[in-house]
Structure 1
Amino acid sequence: MTEYGAPAIWLATVAIGIATYGLRFSFIHLFGRIDDVPPKLERTLRYVPPAVLAALVVPQLVSIEATARATLLDARLIAGLAAGVVAWRTGNVLATIAAGMGVLWLLRFLIL
């Protein structure tokens, strides 16, 4: 294992911070100057939030257990599916969170 000194760690932290700020600022600056976003880019950007949400949520729903039974009966997966159905039917974020957490708590504390 390589051990870096404090100056190297601080330099890396500052460099990453500057790069992140520069990237975000460039988009704010760019879209502040463009009056119309091209339709193709706008259609593409519509899929970014669902893709990010799926990348964050799906790994938390799938069990590491090797058996299919343990994965399918996992409380997180069942609660996630219930939340997904509520989100699909209502489109309400608060109702989705409430349904998912309600099912998760019900399964964790009362049933499983």
Structure 2
Amino acid sequence: MSDLGLWALFVAVGVGTFAMRLCFVELHGRWRMPELLSRALRYVPASVLAALVLPAVIYPNGQGAPVLDNPQIPAAIAAAVVAWKFKSTVLTLAVGMAVLWGLKALAS
């Protein structure tokens, strides 16, 4: 790709990014989001968090295949049960880490 083409690409990406961000600022208060879309967007943070955490739990150290004797899997399951049952972030973290450290201590 030539230098001119590369600079044109940089400018196009910059203008596109600016336009996407500007449209939310400019449309704020002028456009009413449909209720169906608003309800669907409530699940986005949980979905993104799951998409980031699950591969790190199932594939430790970036391996290509799942490792089933991985102590992170039962710790994540225990943390998920605590989160579902008690809805407490601090308790979820404490139980998940305690189970993980306990399983690692038993393994060594």
State the TM-score, normalized to the length of structure 1. Answer: 0.66
Residue 101 (structure 2) aligned to one of 93, 97, 105: 105
Query: What is the CA–CA distance in structure 2 between the aligned matches of 1:26 and 1:107, rounded to whole Å?
Result: 50
Structure-1 residue corresponding to 2:72 = 76
Q: How does 1:1-112 map to 2 (within 5 A)?
A: 20=17, 22-34=19-31, 36-63=32-59, 64=63, 66=65, 70-71=67-68, 73-108=69-104, 110-112=105-107
CA RMSD between the two structures = 3.1
Deviation at 1:52, TM superposition (A): 0.3
Query: What is the CA–CA distance in structure 2 between the aligned matches of 1:55 and 1:105, rounded to whole Å?
Result: 23
Structure 1 runs not aligned, ≥5 long: 1-7
Instruction: Spell out, residue by residue over 1:24-72, the C-alpha distance to the aligned partner (whole angstroms, 9 max, x if none).
Output: 45334433433x43111112102211210111011011133757xx41x
State the TM-score, normalized to the length of structure 2. Answer: 0.67
Aligned length: 101
Over 4 Å off, 4+ runs: 14-22
Structure 2 runs not aligned, ≥5 long: 1-5
Structure-2 residue corresponding to 1:3 = none
Q: 1:66 to 1:94 in 2, by over 3 A?
A: same
Q: Equivalent pairs: percent with the same residue?
A: 42
